[in-house]
Amino acid sequence: MKLYYSPLSVYSAKPRIAMFEKAIAHETQVVNWTPATGWIKPEELARLNPKAQIPVLVDGEAVIYDSTIILEYLDERVPKPALFPTGVAERARCRILEDLGDTLLAPNLGVLVREVLLKPDPATRDASAVAQTKAELSRQYQRLDRELGKREYLCGEFSVADISCFSPINIASLMEGAPSPEFRNVAKWLSRMSNRPSVARYLAEFSEATAPLRASSQPVSAHA
Ligand SMILES: N[C@@H](CCC(=O)N[C@@H](CS)C(=O)NCC(=O)O)C(=O)O
């Protein structure tokens, strides 16, 4: 298998962590991003994915894009350890929480990149856009805190929902978007996640890739 990804890409973290979790040997093709250039895409990306986005997984003749579909594919291709719960209703809840990460958390990162990462001087930022984004993140963190309750992971056992929600929270945390410690279940979960070998391995490469951008960072583990 070959994974096109970037350690800086919020959606790429999903297959990356899943493949570490399942110990799937694979080749990689890193797609770079810099503030000056944006994504530097290899010529074949548009051929593999009509949206020309990462992540893309190539497995022999099969070309799979979209992180959610890649995770489903990986879970069927290499069933153990499973990344979905077993009950029908539990699986649906797990997909809903995976979608929360993808569609309610991750889309907030654009404003944080534009207004926080690329504008180190707070006086130059669009303060209302930043405040709105932080408020939306906080609403979702509150929801996650409730969904977690006394569970160790969002769906009981470690799942696609944990992977999908962790990635945007980790990236937002570098740009003043970390969850408040008042969300105690989230804080404990972040600590558990960061210590899980597959996630720790991903975090090591994330940390290396973001080193040049991290002047005012707040690592996730600082809130655990
Ligand atoms: N729904 C897609 C979203 C993928 C996506 O937006 N990828 C970003 C990087 S995180 C990308 O490739 N952006 C480049 C572009 O859209 O041109 C997924 O879950 O894989």
- What one-character-per-residue DSSP string does 207-223 give? HHHHGGG-TT---GGGG
* Best of 49, 53, 65, 74 for a ligand 1 pocket test (most atoms within 8 Å of beta carbon): 53
* Best of 11, 39, 68, 71 for a ligand 1 pocket test (most atoms within 8 Å of beta carbon): 11
pLDDT, tens digit, 9 for 90 and up, residues 18-33? 999 999 999 999 999 9
Provide the CATH number for the domain formed by 88-214 in this structure. 1.20.1050.10
212 or 5: which leads in pLDDT = 5
Question: Per CATH, is 2-77 categorized as 3.40.30.10?
Answer: yes
pLDDT, tens digit, 9 for 90 and up, residues 171-209? 999 999 999 999 999 999 999 999 999 999 999 999 999
Count how many Cα atoms sit within 13 Å of the Cα of residue 132 in the half-sphere of its side chain: 10
pLDDT above 90 covers a percentage of the chain that reads 92
Residue with tokens 């600082």: 222
Length of the chain: 224
Ligand 1 touching residue 53 (CB < 6 A): yes
For the chain, the average pLDDT equals 94
Question: Would you put residue 174 in left (φ > 0), alpha (ψ -120 to 50) or beta?
Answer: alpha
Expressed in angstroms and rounded, the spacing between residue 40 Cα and the centre of ligand 1 is 13
pLDDT for the residue numbered 215: 54
**Ligand 1 atom nearest to CA at 54:** 12
pLDDT, tens digit, 9 for 90 and up, residues 106-144? 999 999 999 999 999 999 999 999 999 999 999 999 999
* Residue extents of the structural domains in the chain: 2-77, 88-214
pLDDT band at 216 (very low <50, low <70, confident <90, very high): very low
Ligand 1 touching residue 171 (CB < 6 A): no
